[in-house]
Structure 1
Amino acid sequence: MKECFEPTFDVMEAWCHSFVPEETLYWIDSSFLDDLPASCLIIPRHEFVTHPIYRRPGITNPYVTWQMGQKVTHIVHAFSGFLTELQGHVKTRLFEYQVTTNRGLVLPISVEQMTDTSNEAIVEKNGMHFIVLNQSNWNQLAMVMRHSLLLDYAKEWDTWAGEFYDDSIASHLAAYTNRFPLQDGSNCLAATLFAVTGNEQMIHQWIHPETFLQTLKRNGYETVKDDAPEPGDLLTFWDDQEQLVHASYCVRQNLYFNKHGQVRFNPWKLIDHDELKEHWGAYRLQIERRK
């Protein structure tokens, strides 16, 4: 039996406050260029993907930039008043393009929900309706509407069920078990290092593989040739290019402290071996153990 959980009201409010970034971005191809006002910033795709401003978790995760459609050639950084400068047919086409090219901040919306919002940014595709969000139209929605749309979207990212825990779990892990981050960015490597070190500041970081492995070494971990994890072991998962793609902390037999991704909708939770294998079993397993 697993514990089912959902974000609290305070967590939902924190999510709603920062879910839609101040930077409004739209995906386009070159056919849009002649129809857009000169007052907007149009960024070639190859510059966008390497630009430090647009690689922040607060941008990449809401906009889901890694799913950007292959036909996208440019990104519009739209400033205040951008949409009012567009002709009606250009605006309609722009919104439709966001749906077809997998831009983030495009949420499914029901017919009932549509009655409480403007139709300007509503797109219909394959019998479904979507709202193309920017900070302005997001802030205009009622609180109940924002919570409803965001909760439905957030549930698509993960299973909000974890193993029950008791007093045998270390107190620093219990404080974060079956809980959600308030912001994007904290990833599996950060969660695993937090489990190892007990340093609460560690869990909120976006940690890269080399930093992770170096920190393990400094904490006395080394690779062992064993396929039976022991309490305190770290399970690391590697792809065919020998890149580290995931890590998890073994609390005790068949119980792991884990975070499946770097978005705020991936909770920190306790999972069993079956769930770990379901998500990461396609990768090569390597066990790290403290000397």
Structure 2
Amino acid sequence: MEKIYLDEQTLDKWSEIAVPNVDLFFFETIDEIRNYMPSESFFIPRSEFNEHGSYQTIDIINSYQLWAVSKKGKYVCVAPPQLFPTIDLEKKMAILEIQKRLNRGLIYNWSDLQGGLHSLPLSIQMDTLDKIESYLIQDEEETLIVFQKEMWSLLPKVFKRNVLSRLAESYMDEVPDLMNVKVPSSIEKYINRFPAANGPNCFAATLAAATENVEAREWIITQWVHLETLLLGLEMRGYQEIDSGMDQLEPKDIVLWKNDNANIIHASFHLENGLFFNKNGQTFFNPWQIVKRETLISNWGSNISVYRVGRYKKWKEQI
């Protein structure tokens, strides 16, 4: 089975949504805003921004990785893509460095992506470098690239495909040997594949794998499923929480991981022999994969709950 499957059609869909049509810049203080942004810019206090439906869409959340932005960023500039290029270079650099400091998304190591330039003719390489030069910042000994919509829209299609493909590959977990593993036909076509859009997450992948009806399964796996929806879905399918550890799992068991506050943060579907059907997050960069138990423990810890189909459900299947 191939390590990664990612076609040009999917990459082109990604390129349309990878960088949102609205620029977001986070700032710690009003003085920063006064120093670097035009006075007519549109600013929202972070507390209000977090409740603003227009800016809490799945694409904006994932591209800017809003869950990871430092709480020190108390103000958010929401700007049309045309604004940032009009700011003078020194202020632009300062703004981008603030975004890195506050851990905003759409910032990557340039060394991981610059190989994509080699797929371009030399003249186009130089033109592309000109377009991105003012979006490169230094962080200690590394050069980082910050993507913004206006710049992204000007880049060659083949370069954007290459960048997205390289980023996607960095999200892949180690692929185990599946030679002697029976992979259910219901999930085989998803293995080492990527969704075309943001949203499908670990809860959706797990609930879909536990769903027998083909049409329902293919619908569910594309959704952004939240925790209570997952738990209700498991109950409807006859699953019950049991007292079991990782070493006593049976095929079709579902494992839920908890954080230190006992909040459920991840779910995965056990196939057999410590192998799981899994998706690590809700971005389109997170593929559906089969992963080892050890990989999941390394990524998510060992604080788990196990759910298994109840006796009535098993008896019904045998009729």
Q: Tell me, yes or no, whether TM beats 0.5.
A: yes
- Unaligned 5+ runs, structure 2: 118-124, 311-319
Instruction: Check conservation: 2:82, 2:150, Cα contact below 8 A.
Output: no
- Unaligned 5+ runs, structure 1: none
**Equivalent position of 2:104 in the other structure:** 103
Q: CA deviation at 1:156?
A: 3.5
Does 2:59 match 1:58? yes
Give the letter aligned to residue 252 of structure 2.
Answer: G
Q: CA deviation at 1:240?
A: 3.0
More displaced stretch, 195-204 vs 234-243: 234-243
Aligned residue runs from structure 1 range 18-97, under 5 A? 18-30=17-29, 31-35=31-35, 36-97=37-98
- The equivalent position to 1:287 in structure 2, one of 306, 310, 319, is 306
Instruction: Check conservation: 1:5, 1:160, Cα contact below 8 A.
Output: no
For 2:304 and 2:17, how far apart are their aligned partners in 1?
Answer: 36
Instruction: Check conservation: 2:271, 2:277, Cα contact below 8 A.
Output: yes
Does 2:137 match 1:123? yes
Does 2:161 match 1:144? no
- The equivalent position to 1:222 in structure 2, one of 232, 235, 240, is 240
**CA deviation vs aligned residue, 1:165-193 (integer Å, no higher than 9, x gap):** 78943222112112111111111110000
Q: CA deviation at 1:59?
A: 0.8
**Equivalent position of 2:278 in the other structure:** 258
- The equivalent position to 1:186 in structure 2, one of 192, 200, 217, is 200
Q: TM-score, normalised by structure 2?
A: 0.82
For 1:69 and 1:237, how far apart are their aligned partners in 2?
Answer: 24
Instruction: Check conservation: 2:258, 2:303, Cα contact below 8 A.
Output: yes
Instruction: Check conservation: 2:22, 2:81, Cα contact below 8 A.
Output: no
More displaced stretch, 88-97 vs 134-143: 88-97
Give the letter aligned to residue 58 of structure 2.
Answer: P
Q: CA deviation at 1:151?
A: 2.8
**Equivalent position of 2:259 in the other structure:** 239
For 2:271 and 2:77, how far apart are their aligned partners in 1?
Answer: 46
Q: CA deviation at 1:125?
A: 2.4
Q: Aligned pair in 2 of structure 1 residues 8, 163: CA closer, same or farther (>3 Å)? A: farther
Q: Aligned pair in 2 of structure 1 residues 208, 163: CA closer, same or farther (>3 Å)? A: farther
Give the letter aligned to residue 77 of structure 1.
Answer: V
**CA deviation vs aligned residue, 1:238-283 (integer Å, no higher than 9, x gap):** 2232211111111223221111111211111112222222222x24
Instruction: Check conservation: 2:21, 2:81, Cα contact below 8 A.
Output: no
Aligned residue runs from structure 1 range 203-218, under 5 A? 203-218=221-236
CA RMSD of aligned residues (A): 2.4
More displaced stretch, 24-33 vs 262-271: 24-33
More displaced stretch, 167-176 vs 217-226: 167-176
Does 2:123 match 1:133? no
SS at match of 2:203: helix
Q: Aligned pair in 2 of structure 1 residues 109, 97: CA closer, same or farther (>3 Å)? A: same
For 1:15 and 1:84, how far apart are their aligned partners in 2?
Answer: 23
For 2:81 and 2:191, how far apart are their aligned partners in 1?
Answer: 41
**CA deviation vs aligned residue, 1:98-143 (integer Å, no higher than 9, x gap):** 2222221123324774842322222222232222212221011112
Q: Aligned pair in 2 of structure 1 residues 225, 74: CA closer, same or farther (>3 Å)? A: same
For 1:75 and 1:67, how far apart are their aligned partners in 2?
Answer: 14
For 2:54 and 2:279, how far apart are their aligned partners in 1?
Answer: 25
Give the letter aligned to residue 229 of structure 1.
Answer: L
Q: Aligned pair in 2 of structure 1 residues 37, 161: CA closer, same or farther (>3 Å)? A: same
Aligned residue pair count: 289
**Equivalent position of 2:292 in the other structure:** 272
Higher helix share: 2
**Equivalent position of 1:14 in the other structure:** 13
Instruction: Check conservation: 1:107, 1:149, Cα contact below 8 A.
Output: no
More displaced stretch, 89-98 vs 222-231: 89-98
For 1:146 and 1:160, how far apart are their aligned partners in 2?
Answer: 25
For 1:279 and 1:132, how far apart are their aligned partners in 2?
Answer: 27
Q: Aligned pair in 2 of structure 1 residues 128, 220: CA closer, same or farther (>3 Å)? A: same
Does 2:173 match 1:159? yes
Give the letter aligned to residue 290 of structure 1.
Answer: V
**Equivalent position of 1:170 in the other structure:** 184
Q: CA deviation at 1:38?
A: 4.2
**CA deviation vs aligned residue, 1:207-263 (integer Å, no higher than 9, x gap):** 111111111111111112233111111111122322111111112232211111112
